[in-house]
Amino acid sequence: MNQTSMIGNTHLVDTLISLNDKEGLGIKIDKVFAPEHGFRGQAGAGEQVNNGVDTNTGLPIISLYGKNKKPTSEQLEGLDWVVFDIQDVGTRFYTYISTMHYVMQACAENGVKMMVLDRPNPNGMYVDGPVLDTAQRSFVGMHPIPIVHGLTVGELAQMINGEKWLDNGISCDLTVISVENYDHTMTYSLPVKPSPNLPNDLSIALYPSLCLFEGTDISVGRGTYAPFQQIGHPDFTADSSYSFTPVSIDGMSKYPKHQDEKCYGINFSKEPIVRKFTLKYLIEYYHKYEDKDKFFNNFFKKLAGIDQLEQQIKDGLTEEEIRATWEEGLSAYKQMRNKYLLYGDIE
């Protein structure tokens, strides 16, 4: 669980403790497992989360973004259930779904049941992007799914089981508690920001497209209070009509790219919210960048999930030409996805 695990204005942990005290439900919360950003969501991206104690409840906090990303047998000992309740944003590289995979694996190996409390996907109304090549498998992409996968975490958990993606093809004893009054055609505004650098609906809608810039020398506004709502670079002075300066911000971005340098670029904050995936800005900024050998970094292929995209952009392919190379894999994924849908299809 994390800061998104809310029922109204009350955290799920506090709700369960309160219900148990009032109604004697026989629920005993033994510990809380915390993903990237921590239990209360105050750790920055990539910042190690340490084990600790929740000051509100006295419960031990076990980090799944520190020494181990998968719960150990010792950490699961004596547990009947692990409850997974975390708000996702529907992209392959958002690490909460990787944490879910590791928890499913650990539960399957140790005979512990797992319950997923499902939540709507704010980018769940479309599917797009290249399907991951498992040669690029990493914590920012563990499954052969596209960048925008069009699933809730409950649907994805069923897919992980059904497609035998856990090690050795084992299955997790899984229960998904589905969402009422939701379907994949709906938009959904998150009541709690899912992570420190996705503060609003606009950043969440732009995240699938702009996150690929994390694998380049371009800033996405980390180190400002409008991350994933702007892009820029110190050398793009021709775009001087808009600029921003990344600074160190505790709990958001301690060491942002181009820290304390003025970056010139594009401000999306006045743009309408459009939920779609595009390579337009990535291709445009590659062509504007002078020292092209330094545009991409080693992280790009992990985020893209395929080897080819970086080379395709370097070779000058258009977005339409690049998209054509994804089509076969994307079509096969959509067909597979249909087996696991709980909330109807997009079309």
Please tell me what DSSP assigns to residue 52: E
Q: What is the mean pLDDT of residues 303-308?
A: 96
CATH class of segment(s) 6-190+336-340: alpha beta
Quickly name the fold that domain 201-327 has: Aspartate Aminotransferase, domain 1 (3.90.1150)
In the structure, what pLDDT confidence band is assigned to residue 143 with cuts at 50, 70 and 90?
A: very high
Give the CA distances from residue 288 to residues 115, 179, 220, 299, in Å, rounded to whole numbers and listed in that order. Answer: 48, 45, 16, 20
Q: Do domains 6-190+336-340 and 201-327 have the same CATH topology?
A: no
What pLDDT score does 239 carry? 74
Give the CA distances from residue 279 to residues 4, 283, 284, in Å, rounded to whole numbers and listed in that order. Answer: 30, 6, 8
Q: Which residues of 8-21 are buried (b: 16+ CB within 10 A; e: fewer)?
A: eeebbbeebbeeee
Q: What is the mean pLDDT of residues 75-85?
A: 96
Q: What is the mean pLDDT of residues 121-130?
A: 97
For the chain, the domains span 6-190+336-340, 201-327
pLDDT in tens, 199-231: 999 999 999 999 999 999 999 999 999 999 999
What pLDDT score does 342 carry? 97
What pLDDT score does 41 carry? 53
Q: Order across the sheet with 52-53: list the strands.
A: 32-34, 60-63, 52-53
pLDDT at 175 over 60: yes
What pLDDT score does 146 carry? 98
- Whole-angstrom Cα distance, residue 277 to residue 13? 35
Q: Reduced to 3 states, what is the DSSP secondary structure of residue 147?
A: strand
Strand partners, 175: 115
Lowest mean pLDDT among 54-68, 184-198, 280-294, 308-322: 54-68
Q: Work out the mean pLDDT of the chain and round it to a whole number.
A: 93
pLDDT at 345 over 60: yes
pLDDT in tens, 259-287: 999 999 999 998 889 899 999 999 999 99
Q: Which residues of 56-89 are buried (b: 16+ CB within 10 A; e: fewer)?
A: eeebebbbbbbeebebeeebbeebeebbbbbbbb
**Vertex 25 angle, CA 21 and 30, to 5°:** 75
Lowest mean pLDDT among 98-107, 112-121, 173-182, 267-276: 267-276
pLDDT at 45 over 60: no
148 neighbors 91 (Cβ within 8 angstroms) = yes
- Whole-angstrom Cα distance, residue 145 to residue 123? 15
- Whole-angstrom Cα distance, residue 48 to residue 51? 10
- Whole-angstrom Cα distance, residue 177 to residue 197? 28
Q: Which residues of 190-223 are buried (b: 16+ CB within 10 A; e: fewer)?
A: beebbbbbbbeebbbbbbbbbbbbbbbbbbbbbb
